[in-house]
Chain A
Amino acid sequence: MSENPGLIVRDLEIFSADGQTLVGPVSFDFNPGQRLGLIGESGSGKSLAALAIIGLLPDGLSSRGSIELGGRQLVGAPERIMNTVRGTDVAVVFQEPLTALDPLMRIGKQLAEPLRRRAAADGERLTRQQLRLLVRERLADVRLPDPDAIALAFPHQISGGQRQRAALAIALSGRPSLLIADEPTTALDVTVQSEILDLLDRLVDERGMSLLFISHDLAVVARIAPRVVVLQKGLVVEEGMLADVLANPRHAYTHELVDSARSLDNALDDALNGRDA
């Protein structure tokens, strides 16, 4: 496994084609093996920040500032360097697994490709048989039942939860040291959401990866990341340990987030109590 780099983001700014500032300046960092929750409403720039880290901002957008991963500067790094960073140092799990998987390619093949590439980067050549075994192993790692059948399935033939597990297996195939999870459970229903969070929690722990978990949902982040950064309109409005933020939100927006999460909680309690009474 490659050495586990920390991520240091300093004064990151993202501009649109006409020079408008969309994000920033934003700074946050975390050490190897740590987890950070990036919270914000839609349009707050949290996904753009993630795309900037892997150097895949949409056409016309540009970034300025500093993103250091394991001591390597990623802002302005040439495409050749970024291509080796992507997948092997940083990987991403996206929100909607149906669109993040190629509809015309079997799951096994989509997983085999990055596995083969990672092996090639390590100077190994895998035989077809080895590759097939590795694919099955990785599908089993993400607790997919019947990996052989899943490997042969097209994305539309398996369930949403299974698709997200497959997408996770693909993201992890390059053995990245940093995993960016961009709202990975938002498109799933609540029970599946909880399973995926448990799985993510366990895999990140087992592999000693760093995790940047992006979400609009405080309750989801609370389950997985001890430290959070809250973004609003492209700026950091709050940063700190989750417990502190929850107990003592300093910014009005964080207040709102906590209150709305609480009110859902209370509604649940009320419903329960109402039934008891």
Chain B
Amino acid sequence: MTRRRDRSAALIAGLICVGLIIAIALVSLLYQPYDPSDTSGGRLVAPSLAHWAGTDQLGRDLLTRLMMGAQIALVAGGGSVVIGGVLGIVLGLGAAFATRWLDDTLSAVLDILIAFPTLLLAMLVIAAQGASLGSAVLAIGLAMSAIVARLVRILAKRVLAQDYITAARTSGSSWPSIIGHHILPNIWPTVLVSLAIQFGAAVLAEASLSYLGLGAPPPNPSWGSLLQQAQATVYTAPLGAIAPGILLVLLVVGMNLLADGLRDVGDPTQRRRA
């Protein structure tokens, strides 16, 4: 089926894009062409053998800063997904099992949280905590948890209404065992796809916050702050804006492709019949 082939092509393309960014981040942990705060390269030098991507307006090697930016992007995406995922799943399951009144209240709160702009929420957290990568991740994770919780709630409710839950209960399964054995495995494929998409969104959100100066403070080379710095010199040294832009697109598009491809993997009813 062509549809299946599309999916696995998406999975492979996504893995390549995301894998590339992860590889860059891993390399930057072990090896950097220059010290990221070394300003001896001369200001706005064009790409050369010594500086593959040129230098920025302070004379720092751009390639080094782009590589370090990959670490920040992955930490921002991963951290937000862990916070948003864990909190969202707990809240969503809680709402699914709660009494009618508590469920309605929780759902209303979640709807308000979802309607609240992520960047505004992030600014509130940052105002309280100070600008840092940690605050940005916390804020993005909190905003994400509402989206995940709403999804988990509706999925868990659907699973709870299934005959196999009643059947499991008639055989004496306790609720924790039913959650672990039946509910989580059955909602996981969909939740995983959502988390992959949210990962991309979180990377973008962190870049936006850094662009606004609300993310990791300088000299941290978040791709968002690189974009912001390159803004002034975008006509004379366009690579400074293009390169972080391309990396951002690569990671976000890669995560979305991965999400699309993952849809089949967790669902054995979509696999070939034995």
- A74 CB to nearest B CB, Å: 13
Are A83 and B172 interface neighbours, CB within 8 A? yes
Docked Cα-Cα span, A174 to B163, in Å, equals 19
Chain B interface main SS type:
helix
Chain A interface main SS type:
mixed
Docked Cα-Cα span, A173 to B168, in Å, equals 12
Are B186 and A100 interface neighbours, CB within 8 A? no
Among A208-245, those with CB < 8 Å from B are none
Partner of A96, one of B163, B168, B171, B267: B163
Docked Cα-Cα span, A100 to B162, in Å, equals 8
Are A92 and B172 interface neighbours, CB within 8 A? no
Partner of A154, one of B164, B168, B269: B269
Known: A101-B164, A103-B186, A153-B274. A113 touches B170 (CB 8 A): no
Highest count of chain B CB atoms <10 Å: which of A91, A100, A149, A153: A100
Are A113 and B173 interface neighbours, CB within 8 A? yes
Known: A102-B164, A103-B269, A105-B181. A91 touches B174 (CB 8 A): no
Docked Cα-Cα span, A174 to B169, in Å, equals 12
Residue of A nearest to B174 (CB): A83
Chain B residues within 8 Å of A, Cβ to Cβ: 162-164, 166-174, 177, 181-182, 185-186, 267-269, 273-274
Give me 25 A-to-B residue pairs in the complex whose CB atoms sit less than 8 angstroms apart, sorted by A's number.
Answer: A54-B170, A83-B174, A87-B171, A87-B172, A87-B173, A88-B172, A91-B170, A92-B170, A99-B164, A100-B163, A100-B164, A101-B164, A102-B182, A102-B186, A103-B186, A103-B268, A104-B186, A105-B185, A114-B171, A114-B172, A156-B269, A171-B170, A173-B171, A174-B171, A174-B172
Q: Write out, one digit per residue, whether chain A residues 20-59 have a CB within 8 A of any chain B CB (1) or not (0).
A: 0000000000000000000000000000000000101000
Known: A105-B181, A113-B181. A157 touches B274 (CB 8 A): yes
Highest count of chain B CB atoms <10 Å: which of A83, A86, A88, A102: A102
Residue of A nearest to B186 (CB): A104
Does A167 count as interface, using CB distance less than 8 angstroms?
Answer: yes
Are A86 and B171 interface neighbours, CB within 8 A? yes
Residue of A nearest to B159 (CB): A102
Are A99 and B269 interface neighbours, CB within 8 A? no
User: Which residues of the other chain, B, contact A94 by a CB distance below 8 angstroms?
Assistant: 163, 166-167
Docked Cα-Cα span, A91 to B259, in Å, equals 41
- B270 CB to nearest A CB, Å: 10
Among A151-181, those with CB < 8 Å from B are 152-154, 156-157, 167, 170-171, 173-174
